[in-house]
Structure formats: structure tokens, C-alpha cells
Structure 1
Amino acid sequence: MNITCKNCHQTFKGHYCGNCGQTAETHKLNLHYLWHDIQHGLFHFDSGITYTAKQLFTRPGHSIREFIEGKRVKHFKPISLIAILATVYITLIHLLHINLFTETEPSATSDYSIAIEKFKEWSISHFAWITLLSIPLHTIGTKICFRKQGYNFIEYFVLNTYKAAQKLYISILFIPLVYYYNGTPTIAVLTNITLLIDFVMYFWTNVQFFNRLSKIKTFFLTLLTHLIFWIIAILITIIAILILNKA
């Protein structure tokens, strides 16, 4: 039986494409695929990180949609990419002794202030896990706002995983500036700039990914997605601070 490769469109027989090497079966993105990707990300190192980085900053939405539809040979797997980028970022932060938060005044010694400081320290030491946690939170908003576009939750999870990778790439690129202004109020300005860039990239990715929607509709749905994310994230943060305050 002849099979048409979803990656290079060559016709072949067997389990692998003789032209590009992609497997004959590219399963639908679901929980089984996600679990396999997590296992691969923990125990293997794959090629394609440079190719994926280029795609995420030149044609992000199109490349992610192609990955979901089965064109996966050249792409770095999403969970693996996040794990590596988060590790690189937090390693640089620790090695350069960069403080990403505004320091609390010495006079502010209330239990609430102490809990906030504990939360800051905890968030830095668990940065990779927090990054992973933010992905399903974004995915909830995406699933709600773009529910009519025909993708399942795991496919939206993959979309938001690559968006998180974009954010980490940008954060790593800003490390020299953050290091230069470390310990100054400019850190807060740089944080706001990166948040703005993140939103622009998020919107641009959505425009390409949901290319059947108008840009105006995509813009407002993207805003709503962010609003849902921040509401959930703030609630979780408040709960975490209250827990640390009692600890």
C-alpha cells in the first residue's frame, strides 16, 4: 500500500519515508502523544532546535499548525524544548546573580511581606515547573476563546507550549540587558517590555495559526485569552502566598 508522506509529500511503502525519514503513522495529538513526548524530553536529546527557533520567529503560527497536522521531522519536540530553554534561562539567572524582582524595603517585615519574599524565592527555584504550569492555564483560555476552531485540548496545549518557548527565547535574549541593569528600577521596565513583546508574538502566532479568522477577531480573542490566564494565575498566586504565610 502506497503512503503519502505528510512531511515531504513523497509516496512510499513501509514504516518510514525513504526521502525524509518521517514515520508512516503521525498520530493525532492526544494524551498518549503528550506522555510519549514527556518521556522523550526527559531521556533523549533530539535535533532541530535551531530550525524550530527560526520557525517560531519567522512563521510561528503556520509552523505550529503544520506540526499538529503531522509535519514533525525537523521540529524540536515541544516539551523537550521548554525543558531545555527553562534550564538555560534559570542557570544564567543563578550564575549571574540576577534579581528579577523589586527588593522589599527593610522596614516591610509583616507576615504578608515575608510570605511574598518566600514565594519569590520559591518561584525562582522552581522556574521550569512554573513555566510548565503556565501552559495549561493559557490552554484553558485558548480552548474557551477559540473553541469553534476544531482543535482538541492537547493540540491547544502544544500550541501554547511553543508560545512559551518563544517567551523563553526572548527572555534569554534579554539576559545581557537584565544583567546590566540588575538591582536597578530599570529591571521592572525591561520586564514590561518583554511582556509587551510576548503579547505581540502571541497575537502574531494566533493570526497565522487561526488564519481563517479576521485579525480583529483574533486580537480580541487573544486579549480575552490573556485575561482568563491572568485571573487564574493571580488566584493561584494568592493561594500560594497564603499557604506560605501560614507555613
Structure 2
Amino acid sequence: MTKCKNCGHRFEGNYCNHCGQAAKTGRINLMFLWEDIHHGILHYDKGITYSIKQLFLKPGYAIRDYIRGKRVGHFRPISLVIVLATIYALIYHLTDVNLITSDNNASIKIYNYVIEHYYWFIIATIPLFGLSTFIAFRDHNYNFPEYIIFESFKASQRLIIHTLFLSVIFFAHNSDFTRFSINILFVIDISLITWTNIQFFSRLTVFNSILKSILSYIIWLLLVFIVAVGIVLVLNIDI
């Protein structure tokens, strides 16, 4: 007899006859990540609305349950972030929203480039977020691929919020409001990251979770800076 990791029902065979989950839901590893990417490119299934709902009701708990094996009903996380990034990109280019500031110094140019290509940036930096969280919360028994899944769900949260803000900025047609909105989005991003971490790492006190979340974000910024500098030097980009 197998005990279902999703609903707790005991059954025989390859799938739970109560909820349909597979009997084998092994630990997330590199093979799992590859299958998730492959599935995201070639297939789509149900579960987007369920996953999005969970990400804004109880994000940390839902992601932790997913990593531990409770996966029925969810859209695969890497597939989800790819779909949401595509939707963001389509809306951004179809509405031609102007998110660019008028400053011309090098740091602002880089910042503007990130804002303009946010949908690529957020996907590309998921491994860096995974590494920074892995380092900051290293005392917990999760491997790096599991942190990739964790950060993929969190990236989906931010993409949804940024997509909603695109329509607001589009109708506002005001550069000052655009700058204000981008600053608000930054605060919302940090708040979502911290809130999700507090729930996911519920063994820690709220204070410790906040401190480690700040540490994780600082590490992420350093990693992004190092990678960005490396790309500029290797490709000899003029900024």
C-alpha cells in the first residue's frame, strides 16, 4: 500500500484512486527541472488559476507543500513563469508602455534596460535568486533545484503584479506617475518575497525570516552585479 502525499489516502498502483496523484513523487532534482522546462515549452495543462490563487492566499505554505510532494492541481512552476513572462511581454509590446526614464548615466541606462526587458530579466535571474536564498537559508534541508522551484513560484507572483501595473501605467500617460509606480512595484516585490519566505520557513521567527530575506536580497544584488559586469566586459558593451 502507498500513502498519497497529496491527500493521505492509501492505495495500490501507480496513481491515487482518490485524487489522481502519481504514487512516485520523488525529491526535486536536476532531472525534475529538465522535465519541467520541457513540459513548459511543449505542453500546457490545467492549474494556472489554482496556482495563482495559492500564490496570493498562502504562498509560502503552498510552495512548501508542492516541494514536499503535494502537487495535484498546480501548474508546473517553471511552465507557469514562462507563460506569465510571455503574457507580460505581449502586453508590454502591444500597449507600447513607456517605462524608461530620461537620465543618461551608465547606471540608469542599465536600470532602464532591465525595466524594458523585465520579463527576460526575471527568468534569467531565477538561478541567482535560488543561489542567494540557498546561501541565506542554508540551515534548511532543501537542495538547490528545490530552491529553483521556490524562486520560480515567487517570480510568478512578481510577474502577475507587474503585468497588472502595466495597464495602470498605460492609462495614466504620466512620466512622474510611471516613476512612482516603479518605486511602488519595488516595495511590493520586496514585501511579497519577505511574506513568502516567512511562511515557507515557518520554523524561524518572523524577525529571523525578515533578516535572512534581506540578506538573501543583498546577495542576489551582488550576484546580479557580478554577472552584469562580467557580461559587459566579455561582450565589450559600451554603456
Q: TM-score normalized by structure 2?
A: 0.91
State the match for 1:218 in structure 2: 209
Residue pair 1:143, 1:153 contacting (<8 A) in 2 also = yes
CA distance in 2, matches of 1:245, 1:139: 27
Alignment of 1:232 with 2:232, yes or no, is no
Count of residues in correspondence between the two structures: 238
Task: Decide whether aligned partners of structure 1 residues 122 and 177 sit closer, same or farther in structure 2, where only a CA change above 3 A counts.
Answer: closer
Residue 11 (structure 1) aligned with residue 10 (structure 2): yes
Equivalent runs, 1:126-165 vs 2, <5 Å: 127-165=118-156
Please say if 1:196 is aligned against 2:187: yes
Which AA in structure 2 matches 1:225?
S
| Paired AA for residue 210 in structure 2 | F
Q: Is the 8 A contact 2:36 2:78 kept in 1?
A: yes
Residue 89 of structure 1 is matched in structure 2 by: 88
AA matched with 1:146: F
Give the aligned residue type for 2:204: L
- Structure 1-normalised TM-score? 0.89
Q: Distance in 2 between matches of 1:190 and 1:103?
A: 16
Task: Kindly provide the amino acid, as one letter, of the partner of residue 15 in structure 2.
Answer: Y
Question: CA RMSD for the aligned pairs?
Answer: 2.3
CA shift for structure 1 position 8: 1.1
The change in CA–CA distance for 1:199 and 1:246 in structure 2 (over 3 A counts) is closer
2:170 matched to which residue of 1?
Answer: 179
Deviations 1:8-40 (A, max 9, x none): 111111001111111100010000100010100
What is the rounded CA distance, in whole Å, between the counterparts of 2:130 and 2:114 in structure 1? 24
Residue 90 of structure 1 contacts residue 124 of structure 1 at CA under 8 Å; is this kept in 2? no
- C-alpha separation between the residues in 2 aligned to 1:223 and 1:122? 21
Matched to 1:49, the amino acid is I
Post-superposition offset of 1:173: 1.5
1:50-129 matched pairs, under 5 angstroms: 50-104=49-103, 116=109, 120=112, 124=116, 127-129=118-120
Q: State the distance in 2 between where 1:100 and 1:241 align.
A: 23
What CA distance in whole angstroms lies between the structure 1 residues aligned with 2:214 and 2:132?
10
Report if the CA contact (8 A) 2:100-2:116 is conserved: no
Mark the runs of 5 or more structure 2 residues left unpaired by the alignment: none
- Counterpart CA distance in 2 for 1:190 and 1:129 is 20
Structure 2: distance between partners of 1:58 and 1:122: 29
Question: Would the aligned equivalents of 1:102 and 1:185 in 2 still touch at CA under 8 Å?
Answer: no
What stretches of structure 1 of length at least 5 have no aligned partner?
none
The Cα shift of 1:151 comes to: 0.6
Shift in alpha-carbon separation, 1:128–1:173, aligned structure 2, 3 A: closer
Is the Cα contact below 8 Å between 1:116 and 1:241 reproduced in 2? no
CA separation in 2, counterparts of 1:8 and 1:122?
A: 42
Q: Distance in 1 between matches of 2:114 and 2:212?
A: 32
Quick one: distance in 2 between partners of 1:201 and 1:122? 20
User: Which residue matches 1:43?
Assistant: 42
Compared CA separation, residues 12 and 160, structure 1 to 2 (3 A):
same
